Amino acid sequence: MNKEALADLRDNPLFRQQCFVDGEWADADSGAVLQVDNPANREFIGQVPRMGQAEAQRAIEAANCSLPAWREQTAEARGAILYRWHQLMLAHQETLAAIMTLEQGKPLAESLGEIKYAASFFKWFAEESRRAYGRTIPAANSDQRIVVIKQPIGVAAAITPWNFPSSMITRKAGAALAAGCTMVVKPASATPFSALALAELAHQAGVPRGVFNVVTGSAREIAGEMTGNPLVRKVSFTGSTEVGSVLMREAASNVQKLSLELGGNAPFIVFEDADLDAAVEGAIAAKFRNTGQTCVCVNRFYVQDAVHDAFVEKLKKRIESMHLGDGFDPQSDVAPLINQEAVDKVLSHVDDAVGQGASLVSGGKPDTRGDNYVLPTLLTGVRQSMQIMREETFGPVVAVSRFATEAEAIDWANDTPFGLAAYFYSENVHRVWRVAEAIEAGMVGINAGLISNAAAPFGGVKSSGLGREGGVEGLEEYLETKYLLMG
Ligand code: SIN
């Protein structure tokens, strides 16, 4: 992005450098700020308040004050506001996508895709808001009636990651606001501007003051207040398993309801009866979305003996045709990683695999374009014991292992503490059912490399988390079930 375009974007009313608390734009009490850099060149793009415990507490109190009026609105009225928010996001999609690429680095076409995906949660939950159905149950005694009603859980808090700066907020806020909850969001410090742009649009859409708040700053202090404040009845977090388990411990003191979308280690299995061209396209989509920085990105490829060499050959051609560049370059399919730590992790996984005997077929090194650039990489001969098969790499590396039998592939796929997404390709309907049911994951892509969808329940099993976002289940996470016995 050239200097004039950057200056224009900075002047855009959606590019806010203050927090949004109780319907007002606010600075930190201390005046402290956090600087935000562009991952493509590590240049400064703007700053946001470095808020802490006191400001988080005020945001929670504002959310609590606005709760009675918001939950008393009809579901239809709340849905209408969410629908306006969705439309405003689409009307401003170009600006929102440019803000995202500037702070997160992903290719502009992917940012546009994320804005549409993010907006789709508001539309989905605008419609779902009126389906918070209860039920009646036949009572044991003829003079009694049993009724079950659904009520909003109360003030909700969201802690969101840098890899999907817009959709991880709308997936939580759409459900919370539709259910009648109010919310305080703490976005990742690397990507706060997408969150603040959403707050501006919330205001324009008519979200009442205090119903949606965004607080940037110290993760430790803000998250500590969110889990420590008894006014908060629900905490939703997307991020690492390490941080998720800390939050779980902290939330225990107030017995807060939790949704945790944590780390993954997704397998991608190609069986000998797969359509190989479709499998290669699915592999590219499932591996290189957001340059591999997606919780549902494939981390491990298992390819059956009979098709291994043909699959690797086709995949190599596809990988070598990919263009690595600045997210604003329309040619770019893959873009810089978020920071140096991410680059170091990716390269250390590659070094460990090669050091233990894997073959480096393409890439495997940083690119001269800039500090955060790593070439799309293909490794073969990877074994289950290598670091790259055991930990989430979060980068553009395809690690391929060959297998002989279906049982072996399933064993290896399940040999991990994680269970977020999994993918497999097969044209055999019997195998499709067997494998889909045997895989330990919350989401399974069958002959499909992209699984994310507002209408579907997104979430993991084992150490990949608790609860579901999106779908009917997403609304349920923000509702309490109350049983009434009428004598
Ligand atoms: C994630 O990386 O956790 C979110 C990806 C998605 O919603 O598709």
115 and 100 Cβ atoms separated by less than 8 Å: yes
Band of pLDDT at residue 1, cut at 50, 70 and 90: confident
- For atom 6 of ligand 1, which residue has the closest CA? 452
Band of pLDDT at residue 36, cut at 50, 70 and 90: very high
Query: Whole-angstrom Cα distance, residue 76 to residue 278?
Result: 42
Judged by DSSP in three states, 217 sits in strand
Query: Whole-angstrom Cα distance, residue 161 to residue 142?
Result: 53
User: Which of 111, 115, 296 for a ligand 1 pocket mutation test, highest count of atoms within 8 Å of Cβ?
Assistant: 296
How many angstroms separate the alpha carbon of residue 295 from the centre of ligand 1?
6
Residue recorded with tokens 């050091």: 355
pLDDT of residue 2: 74
Helix (H) or strand (E) holding 405: none
Token output for 406: 């279906």
Token output for 310: 């043909």
| pLDDT beyond 80 at 339 | yes
174 and 124 Cβ atoms separated by less than 8 Å: yes
Catalytic residue among 225, 261, 440, 469: 261
Band of pLDDT at residue 360, cut at 50, 70 and 90: very high
Phi, psi (5° rounding) for residue 212?
-135, 120
Q: How far apart are the first and last CA of the chain?
A: 69
Strand positions, DSSP E, 118-209: 135-137, 145-152, 155-159, 182-186
Query: Whole-angstrom Cα distance, residue 196 to residue 44?
Result: 17
- For atom 7 of ligand 1, which residue has the closest CA? 452
Atom number, ligand 1, closest to the C-alpha of residue 420: 3
Residues 6+ apart with CB under 8 A from 272: 304, 305, 306, 307
Judged by DSSP in three states, 118 sits in helix
Task: Kindly report the pTM of this predicted structure.
Answer: 0.97
122 and 175 Cβ atoms separated by less than 8 Å: no
Q: Provide residues with CB under 6 Å of ligand 1.
A: 163-164, 167, 238, 261, 294-296, 452, 458
Neighbours of 138 (CB within 10 A): 8
Residue 180 Rama label (left phi>0; alpha psi -120 to 50; beta): left
Residues 6+ apart with CB under 8 A from 89: 96, 115, 118, 119, 122, 170, 198, 201
Query: Whole-angstrom Cα distance, residue 469 to residue 205?
Result: 23
Token output for 285: 């989509």
pLDDT in tens, 201-226: 999 999 999 999 999 999 999 999 99
Query: Whole-angstrom Cα distance, residue 401 to residue 409?
Result: 10
How many angstroms separate the alpha carbon of residue 405 from the centre of ligand 1?
31
Residue recorded with tokens 């045997």: 438
Query: Whole-angstrom Cα distance, residue 338 to residue 344?
Result: 11
pLDDT of residue 174: 98
Q: What angle do CA 53, 55, 57 make, to 5 degrees?
A: 65
261 is catalytic: yes
Among 478, 469, 483, smallest CA distance to 78 is for 478
Token output for 469: 């976002």
297 is catalytic: no
Identify the bridge partners of residue 242 per DSSP, sorted by sequence position.
none
Please give the mean pLDDT across all residues of the chain: 97
Residue 425 Rama label (left phi>0; alpha psi -120 to 50; beta): beta
DSSP state of 478: T
How many angstroms separate the alpha carbon of residue 400 from the centre of ligand 1?
23
pLDDT in tens, 42-65: 999 999 999 999 999 999 999 999
398 and 379 Cβ atoms separated by less than 8 Å: yes
200 and 16 Cβ atoms separated by less than 8 Å: yes
pLDDT in tens, 366-381: 998 999 999 999 999 9
